[in-house]
Amino acid sequence: MTALSRPQPEEIAAYYHGYVAQCPEPDLLSALRGAERVVRDLHAGIPEARGDHRYAEGKWSIKEVLQHMIDCERVFAYRALSFARNDGTELPGFDENQWAPAAEAGRRSLAELKSEQESVKASTLLLFSSFTDEMLLRMGRANGNPFSVRSLGWAIAGHDRHHAAVIKQRYL
């Protein structure tokens, strides 16, 4: 087992185990690259005219789901950076249902959100590629739960796959 291997169950809150399980790749960097491809393929299949589509009343639009994916990736990457740098501060959680309307994704074009998401994904891959084995195994706490640095990368990759599947199944 290497530092890029899947995290052990105790390295990540149980809520995220399903996300990690969605990644078929054998190592973290491959999983992040795979998620990048999944997102790029998803983007190619969403026409601009569908950006404000909701599959049911009260559900997020496609733009809001993409913004949520971007926001979560940034939060998880910040947590990983903080833990990798040995910052012992416990980090807070966040309420995605408060963030979504506050982001006002509907005022943006789908093309703009796609471009931002691709930039964030490239940045995340560079960040995790920069971590040493020791850094990847460091632990921290966020939202009352333990996380290793590597587990947050796996969560990012699985979260992308989860929401890409939801968009394809329910929105397109």
DSSP code string of 115-140: HHHHHHHHHHHHHHHH--HHHHH-EE
Q: Which residues contact 100 (CB under 8 A, 6 or more apart)?
A: 60, 64, 67, 68
Tokens of 20: 């990690």
Q: Tokens at residue 48, please?
A: 């601009």
Q: Is residue 71 part of a domain?
A: yes
Q: Is residue 76 part of a domain?
A: yes
- The answer to whether residue 60 is domain-embedded is yes
What residues have CB less than 8 Å from 47, skipping those under 6 apart? Answer: 110
State CA 71 to chain mean position distance. 8
Answer for the pair 136, 3: CB distance below 8 angstroms, yes or no. yes
* Bridge partner residues of 66 (DSSP): none
Query: Which residue segment(s) compose the domain that 39 sits in?
Result: 20-171
| pLDDT tens-digit readout, 120-168 | 999 999 999 999 999 999 999 999 999 999 999 999 999 999 999 999 9
Kindly state the percentage of the chain with pLDDT values over 70.
100
Within a domain: residue 29?
A: yes
Is residue 37 in some structural domain?
Answer: yes
CATH code (residue 73): 1.20.120.450
One-letter amino acid of 129: S
Is the whole model's pTM more than 0.85, yes or no? yes
**Widest distance between CA atoms in the chain:** 47
Residue 13: predicted pLDDT? 96
Which residue matches tokens 């995220």? Answer: 16
- Inside any domain, residue 11: no
Instruction: Give the model confidence (pLDDT) of 7-43 as tens digits.
Output: 999 999 999 999 999 999 999 999 999 999 999 999 9
Report the pLDDT value the prediction gives residue 75, as an integer from 0 to 100: 98
81-88: average pLDDT: 97
pLDDT of residue 127: 98
Residue 131 lies in a domain: yes
pLDDT of residue 1: 73
Question: Does pLDDT of 62 surpass 80?
Answer: yes
Number of domains in the chain: 1
Is residue 28, in this structure, part of any structural domain at all?
Answer: yes
Looking at residue 140, its pLDDT comes to 98
